[in-house]
Structure 1
Amino acid sequence: MAGSRDARGFTLVEVLVTMAIFALIGIVSFTVLDQMSKTKTQSEDAREQLQSMQFSWLMIEQDLRQAVGKPTRPNGTDVVRRYVSSDERLAESDSGLLALVKSGYDNPGLLLPRAELQPVIYRVREGVLERISYAYVNDRSDEPAAQPLMTGVEEFNVRFFRAQQSAGDSLQNQGINSGWQGSWDTEGDMPLAIEITVVSKAYGEIRRQFLTGTPSAVSSNDREGGENANQNED
């Protein structure tokens, strides 16, 4: 009798309990792995968003440092001496816009039939901050190059600082709060600084202020009629 009792197998209840324990362990393991995978994905997304935001500010800062005051002929005829603009009609932006002309557009050995100046526009389309650039200053008939910079952008606002004294004075000595305005209508002059506010889904409102490269880049020829802004991209 003792031998028969030792040789018997597990009861149904014991089997069910064992299966339940293994099932519970499997569910817990899957939940932990799934949560780890989601956390990794969220971390990667957050890192990519941070990198894109930092890169966007870097591009904006570089362009503003190289901003120049140059009369242009965007339509090939009329001379425009408004060196920066926030007019959304220039590039059909959904929220705010910044347009300027920058130097430093590489042309090694002057092999290409263009100057080392480049028109650049920052705009928002369908929640994406884009940097639009043209190959020529005075001929914008070709399709521009559009570079997406940051996603999840809800607002892109620009303000301009008008210097109250001489252009050589520092920004801190100008009374920074008194010189800001929402648009730049002054012809033949550059703002001393530009403030950009970006509202994004990931980071909320971020505001930065930049000094421009050439606060008063106006030659006597520019004031007299802009003879230097010829159609051959001087």
Structure 2
Amino acid sequence: MQRQQGFTLIEMLLAISIFALMSLAGFNILSSTVDSNELSLKHGDKMAKLQRAMLTIERDFTQISQRKVRINGEAPSANLLAHGELILDSESQVLAFRRVGWTNPMNMLPRSEVQSLAYRIFDGNLERLHYVFPDPVQGEEPKVRVLLEDVEQIEFEFFDPEAKSWQTTWEKTSLPSGVSIKLYSQDFGEIQRVFNLVN
């Protein structure tokens, strides 16, 4: 009589254990790949938002106007830039100015192509404020657009072409030849951009 050949119970348990370990390793690799992909997409999204924010700021500076600034419906100041702390409910510095080139095709909208705008930090966000009309009246609420989230602080410096140096304040009636913006972001740390102003 011939004995039947087959796997013993120990061999079966060993094979099942090896298969379970290989499955677990495969699942861990797949899980870490998915997590890594999600993290990469999140970081890519934040980077795209940062690039869009910088592009918006650059566009505003390239279209800056030689028109005196006015905040909260007050009389126009003698300056082309309004800069300071705690203006417009900001948690950090504010920079306000006017720009041209706000598209109004065939003058269909009842507004000018000049736009009053400001940058501020509010509730941890970098915000761009603008008014529908270039000379806002007192009490008029600006339109607010969040450019970047999780921003702790913003600092501005201005390049004085006469002194050939950077200034932390700007009280002159002319425009500086450059503006430096320094952001402190939770995601990216310190970010600095310098924008050339064409007078």
Say whether the 8 Å CA contact 1:56–1:150 is kept in structure 2.
yes
2:121 equivalent to 1:150: no
- Aligned to 2:31, the other structure's residue is in SS state helix
Q: Runs of at least 4 residues of structure 1 off by over 6 A?
A: none
Gaps in structure 2 of 5+ consecutive residues: none
The answer on 1:199 being equivalent to 2:184 is yes
With the length of structure 2 as denominator, give the TM-score of the two structures.
Answer: 0.87
Q: Which residue of 1 is the match for residue 59 of structure 2?
A: 62
Distance 1:125 1:16 in 2: 62
Q: Which structure has the higher relative contact order (CA within 8 Å, separation 6+)?
A: 1
Find the counterpart in structure 2 of residue 6 from structure 1: 4
- Post-superposition shift, 1:56? 1.4
**Offset of residue 72 of structure 1:** 4.5
Contact kept in structure 2, 1:74 and 1:137, CA below 8 Å: no
Distance apart, 1:159 and its partner CA: 0.5
| 2:83 partner SS | coil
Task: Give the conservation status (yes or no) of the 8 Å contact 1:155–1:200.
Answer: yes
- State the partner residue of 1:89: 86
Identical-residue share of aligned pairs (%) = 31
Larger Rg: 1
Coordinate RMSD, CA, aligned = 2.1
**Runs (5+) with no aligned partner, structure 1:** 165-173, 215-234
| Greater fraction of residues in strand | 2
Counterpart CA distance in 2 for 1:76 and 1:43 is 45
- Post-superposition shift, 1:116? 1.0
Of the structure 1 ranges 195-204 and 100-109, higher mean CA displacement relative to structure 2 is found in: 195-204
1:129 counterpart letter in structure 2: L
2:12, 2:146 → 1: CA distance?
A: 59
